Structure 1
Amino acid sequence: MRVEIWSDVACPWCYIGKARFEQGLSAFAHKDDVEVVFRSFELDPTLPKGAVSDVIPMLAKKYGMSLEQAKAAEERVASNAHASGLEYIFGAHDVGNTFDMHRLIHFANARGKQKELVAALFHNHFADERSLFDDERLIELAVQVGLDADEARAVLADETAYAAEVRADEQEAQMLGANGVPFFVLDRKFGVSGGQPAEVFTQALQEAWAAQVPALKVVGEAAPDGAVCGPDGCEIP
């Protein structure tokens, strides 16, 4: 079974939803047969590269809140993260264009390190006070998960590298009706929107698995002429 997760590194509910999905997956009987692939979705692709702002003022401006209301909203997100077993530093992360991160995630996928890099990016963004919007920091994280520093630097330097893959993911999200993230697609048959509780993901996985090989419906099992033979002999009509 394949699970595709559309997400953005800058999205706190993607960070939380990823953790909850993994908790739900751990309770799934066939978890070892599940392939997880991360897909790209930019929360704000209009942000110019290099324009970075603090999260609290950004929330206040974007949603028309006071700074106090924005802080309260951030505190609620932090509380949800902590309840999901995640580290989350209140108000520490900044906001900017994530396109290069998505390109690097696709590069990591080509090298078999996508899962590790996504985890490192999320943890750094929400649980570390160092900004992700710095190429050298991205290269450091790439090396930490086993990627080659020169290759990662070359990807970041070439704005066309893996750009088509990012755009293809975003177009596909639109076709699937994903207007927000996280968005989980199970075997292209079931969709789960948002950072749902772990048990919701477990149930969705079970339903998707059952849909692969539907239960056989036996017709006429109780009919009088439906005699059968078994290990203990044959029915006598």
Structure 2
Amino acid sequence: MNRTRTLLLLPLAALSLSSLAAAGGGYVPAPAPVAAPAPVTVPRAPVATPAAASTTTVTASTVTAPTTASQTATETAAATSGGMGLTTATAQLRDASGAVKGAVTFSQLPGNELLVSVQAEGLTPGKHGMHVHAVGQCSDKVVDGKPTVFGAAEGHFDPAATGKHATPETPTTQAHAGDLPMLEVGADGRGRADFSTRKFSVQGDTGVVGRSLIVHAGEDDYQTNPAGNSGARVLCGVIETASN
């Protein structure tokens, strides 16, 4: 009887444990842990470091026009003086009919040096005497009893009243200040002279403004009074201020 009861109880006990397990009351092994997913790394595109802004230096090119034979003494003076402002005077050279035949430019530099540029045309080939005359008039006038073309210009500029004609290099205390180098004319009738002098200035006591420049028909001998035996007056120009 006791053995039978024990046998009967064993199945019941097994049934009771199974029921408890099914009901959640018994020990149920925990399921194997689920591994956490590995972190997903999204590759990041490298951020480009902005390049430093490039500096472009633009150098303006200087175009220099070729120097020609017609470059004036004023341009030469500007280059010599480093671009300093110049005091200049000019004169238009006219013939006896009043036609313009040339031009003169006087450019004052520091140090009492004066640059002179003369250009003329319509002249006979050869050397022609040139002088600064005392009066700034180019009309005709009777001189020494003779009608004289451009006679109103009077005699050579002579601030020291020497009364003597001489070379362009002779000091003004010994001869005319207005005695100039000659103008040499080619076969085409054109001539040009560029020179410097300290015998006179643009303005002041020895100034040429308000006077005249005359070109003569012939060569100057630099000794015969009053005009170096240079012949008739063929071109005349009144000297006027150009700029200050």
Scaled to the shorter chain, the TM-score interval is under 0.3
Greater relative contact order structure (CA < 8 Å, 6+ sep): 1
Looking at secondary structure, tell me which structure has more helix per residue. 1
TM-score computed with the length of structure 1 as normaliser: 0.24
Looking at secondary structure, tell me which structure has more strand per residue. 2
